[in-house]
Every structure is written in structure tokens, then in C-alpha cells.
Amino acid sequence: MKPINLHPLLVENLYEEALSLSEEARDVFDESVLLASAGEPGRAARAALRQEALRTTTRMMHAIAWLLNQRAFLAGELTEFQLRQHGTLPTSPPAGDDDDLALLPAAVAEIAERTIAFYRRLERVDPASRSMIRVEPVAFDHLRERLGQAVAR
């Protein structure tokens, strides 16, 4: 597979898409929760809805946090060291199982699948992010080297 160039415009477009998708997910889950509380669905359906809302929200929070770190690095607001420490894309929460997904309204299942697909795209872009960072010894290694040189004199 050809490496992806992590261009600032790509990061901005992904960030805008993440915000839009997050807002859409919030609207879908808000509406579904209202319908669930009014319609008295079964306990299993309410539990599945809550679990998928948590998975989807967590997935998108991780995505947005990762994109914010990338934006900050590209804008010069984060150093390479800071990005190396805080710029790793966490593993996405797993999708719900098929039995639980079958209990969800179609709109909820659809938005969950779209957030999973979006996160998978970020997982393909993440290695390009890490390749932008030059691997250099950390400050402690530099200090130890300087001390060694000073003692040798």
C-alpha cells in the first residue's frame, strides 16, 4: 500500500468530517433515546442503545482528539516529542455484536457503522502521522551524553 502524505488540508478535511459525523451521531442518539423512553422498548434494547451510544461517542472523541493533536503539530503548537507522547490513535472500541445491533433502530446502526468506517480511515492515516516525526533521542539521552563528554575531559 502506498504511504499517505499527511497534508494539513487532509487533516482539516478529516477534522470537519469528524465534527459533522459527531453532531449527526448526537442527534441520532438523542432522538433514539427519546423514542426509547416514550415507547418503552425492552430492557435489552435500551441496554444495547446505551452501549452503542457509549461506543460511538468514545470512538468519535478519540478521533477528534487525534485530529486536534495533528492540527496542533502541523500549526507548530506541539513539538515532535509532545506529538509522539500524545498523538497516537487509540484502538477503537469494538462494534456491538449482531444480536445487539438488531435491537437498535436502523438510524442508530447506520451511524455506528459510519463512525466505524471513519475510524478505520484514520487508522490507515495514523502511520503517516507517525512517519512525520523524526525519531531522536529524548532530552535525557542528550543530557547523559553531554555529562559523559564533560566527565571524559
Ordered by start, the domain boundaries in the chain are 8-152
Q: What is the predicted pLDDT for the residue at 1?
A: 44
Give tens-digit pLDDT for 57-101. Answer: 999 999 999 999 999 999 999 998 888 888 889 887 777 778 888
Give tens-digit pLDDT for 116-151. Answer: 999 999 999 988 777 665 545 556 666 777 778 888
CATH assignment, 8-152: 1.10.8.930
DSSP secondary structure string for all residues of the chain: -PPPP--HHHHHHHHHHHHHHHHHHHHHHHHHHHHHHHH---HHHHHHHHHHHHHHHHHHHHHHHHHHHHHHHHTTSS-HHHHHHH-PPPPPPPPPPHHHHHHS-HHHHHHHHHHHHHHHHHHHHHHHHHHTS-----HHHHHHHHHHHHHH-
